[in-house]
Amino acid sequence: MSESIDAIRLNIGEGGLMVMNVSLAIIMFGVALELSVKDFKRLIQEPKSTLVGVFSQFILLPAITFGLVYLFEPHPSMALGMFMVAACPGGNISNFFSLLAGGNAALSVSMTAIATGLAIVMTPFNFTLWASFYEPTHAILRDIHINIWEVFKIIGLILGIPLILGMVVRHVREGLADRIASWIKWFGIIFFAGFVLVAFSMNFQNFLDYVHLVIGLVFFHNAFALTGGYGLASAFNLSQKDRKSIAIETGIQNSGLGLLLIFNFFDGLGGMALVAAWWGIWHVVTGMAIGWYWSIGKSAIKGVFSNA
């Protein structure tokens, strides 16, 4: 392992970037088919929980991330990966985990809708803002010279247009949207998962050489995101259901969007891509774990100790 993780570039092959773009747009379209204007209206009807959730997603998580980067001082490209993940909106499977955990499903869906819309502006803004505060990552940004308007454009194409189209279809043909939403979303997820497997096989040696550097970092990053979201919701005296959903929305990130931006604008910069890729694997593990604990495990564990 003679080459620094800050210097390696991951390869996704010819046409790989296009496949990634299309698959994420399909996933977003599937998610949007399940959204309606009332999901955005809930911000006005029930502002406290939604605003706390949005604050947790776009203010608290990037701030926590900066604190962890300052504390652990990871390789600069890995720190950039952490800032990228933190700047992305909640993941596409966060609603499922929120439902599994017995959280507030309506709040989770509303946060998905609002965070996705805000991400068109907030993702590039948060990423460049927080990365510029830390000199090692700021130096990489200076060297790469990102065109921020290109970032806005691609996020708008991948998130904004599918979001609008999906909601229009639901408004015009609600029955059709209900029938095809899960099929389209899961097709996109499987399509994207297949692409990730192929990309993984093409970069297997790099993964073996450097994954040990990101495992612990992603573990703590994800753990602080989940506990930070839950703690903030608790500080505002929100219900237990709301606390669960806000924790999950803060800890389950759209790392797929992060990977897309990394390959589009950073040429697959090794540390960034490995952090985002491992986060995508790890947050599924933690989402399933806390979903099980909050829905079944907590009662089961109490039962074991009460019978002991």
pLDDT in single tens digits along all 308 residues of the chain: 446 777 777 776 667 777 777 888 888 888 888 877 777 777 777 789 999 999 999 999 999 999 999 999 999 999 999 999 999 988 778 888 888 888 888 888 888 888 888 888 899 999 999 999 999 999 888 877 777 788 888 888 888 888 889 889 888 888 888 888 878 877 877 777 777 777 777 777 777 788 888 999 999 999 999 999 999 999 999 999 999 999 999 999 888 888 888 888 888 888 898 999 889 889 888 988 998 888 875 554 454 444 44
Ordered domains of the chain (ranges, CATH): 16-296 (1.20.1530.20)
Q: What is the pLDDT of residue 301?
A: 43
Question: SS3 string of 251-266?
Answer: HCECHHHHHHHHHHHC
Cβ neighbour number for residue 99 with a 10 Å cutoff: 17
Q: Tell me how far apart the alpha carbons of residues 130 and 282 are, in angstroms, rounded to a whole number.
A: 23
Q: Tell me how far apart the alpha carbons of residues 17 and 4 are, in angstroms, rounded to a whole number.
A: 24
Q: Tell me how far apart the alpha carbons of residues 288 and 43 are, in angstroms, rounded to a whole number.
A: 28
Q: What is the pLDDT of residue 300?
A: 46
Q: What is the pLDDT of residue 75?
A: 92
Q: What is the pLDDT of residue 298?
A: 55
> What's the burial of 60, exposed, middle or buried (CB within 10 Å: 0-12/13-18/19+)?
buried
Q: What is the pLDDT of residue 299?
A: 53
CA-to-CA dists, residue 204 to 19, 209, 245, angstroms: 20, 9, 35
Q: What is the pLDDT of residue 173?
A: 87
Contact present, 278 and 217 (Cβ < 8 Å): no
CA-to-CA dists, residue 236 to 56, 179, 240, angstroms: 12, 38, 11
Contact present, 110 and 42 (Cβ < 8 Å): yes
Q: What is the pLDDT of residue 3?
A: 60
Q: What is the pLDDT of residue 14?
A: 62
Contact present, 87 and 126 (Cβ < 8 Å): yes
Helices 105-133 + 148-155 axis angle, to 10: 170
Of 293, 21, 284, 274, the closest CA to residue 158 belongs to: 21
Q: What is the pLDDT of residue 150?
A: 81
